[in-house]
Amino acid sequence: MHSDQQLRQPSVLFDQELERLRKVARHNELAYAAALRMCIVEEVAPPLWLLQAIDELMLDLLKREKSTKRGRHAGRIARYCQDMRDYTRYDAVEEVRRRRQEYHEKADDMATYSAEQRKRYGCIDKIRKWFRYGTFPCASMYLLGTDAFASPSAVRASYRRVKRRSRSKEDALRYYVFWGDFLKRLGVPWPGSYDPGMKFTPFYDLKL
């Protein structure tokens, strides 16, 4: 059925069978899938109650899905979580580079600060020293307290993976961030969110 094709009006017999399947579903949830399939075959818009039931059923199946495999053979939620970790690490690298460029551009002004000003803005020297760790170690520290935290080498691997895949508009869509309500229902944390109880630490005070 094409997206621009007109949906049919349900017949009396169709409505009766759909209601029968609704009652059957109280004993066997396969009836929901059967009802949806019937709507597709007959080209009839599914009623709201059926969409809500399918939504709950699909959510339950996704959350129960388990796999001991990794990569593309892992479960759907596991694959998405890994993609989000990769993307969060990529974003952390870009943020470190942005901040480093920002402070590099301010370096000349900072060099003219008086002793009193330098004392007042004591973080300036800390910031300069912190960036000396290197881009990927800094990004690794930046992710401390998040699900995406990893070693500098793992951050580098994730960054390169996202960079490579993002060359294709189609492949880049795997890093689409679903809205918060949907992720919450799946039990998936918002990408890059900090663990509960994580204390705030200025980035220039983070250490390996």
Q: Give the tens place of pLDDT for each residue, 135-144.
A: 999 999 999 9
**Mean pLDDT (whole number) for 176-186:** 91
Domain coordinates of the chain in residue numbers? 12-64, 71-205
Query: What is the tens place of the pLDDT at every residue in 114-171?
Result: 777 766 666 777 888 899 999 999 999 999 999 999 999 999 999 999 999 999 999 9
Lowest-confidence pick of 57-61, 99-103, 204-208:
204-208
User: What's the rounded mean pLDDT across residues 93-118?
Assistant: 81
Residue 5 per-residue DSSP state: S
pLDDT level of residue 112 (50, 70, 90 thresholds): confident
Give the span between the Cα atoms of 96 and 72, in whole angstroms: 29
Give 1's pLDDT tier (boundaries 50, 70, 90).
very low
The pTM for the full model equals 0.79
- Using CB atoms within 10 Å of the CB of residue 146, give its burial: 0 to 12 exposed, 13 to 18 middle, 19+ buried: buried
177 has pLDDT over 50: yes
Burial 56-86 (b: 16+ CB within 10 A, else e): ebeeeeeeeeeeeeeeeebbebbbbbbbbbb
81 CB contacts (<8 Å, ≥6 apart)? 147, 188
Write the pLDDT tens digit of every residue in 191-203: 989 888 778 888 8
Answer for the pair 92, 139: CB distance below 8 angstroms, yes or no.
Answer: yes
What is the percent of the chain where pLDDT is above 70?
A: 89
In this structure, the number of other CB atoms found within 10 A of the CB of residue 40 comes to 11
More confident residue, 189 or 123: 189
Of residues 162 and 109, which shows the higher confidence score?
A: 162
For the segment 48-79, what is each residue's pLDDT rounded down to a tens digit? 999 999 999 999 999 888 666 665 557 889 99
How many whole angstroms separate alpha carbon 33 and alpha carbon 57?
9
Would you call 194 helix, strand, or coil by DSSP? strand
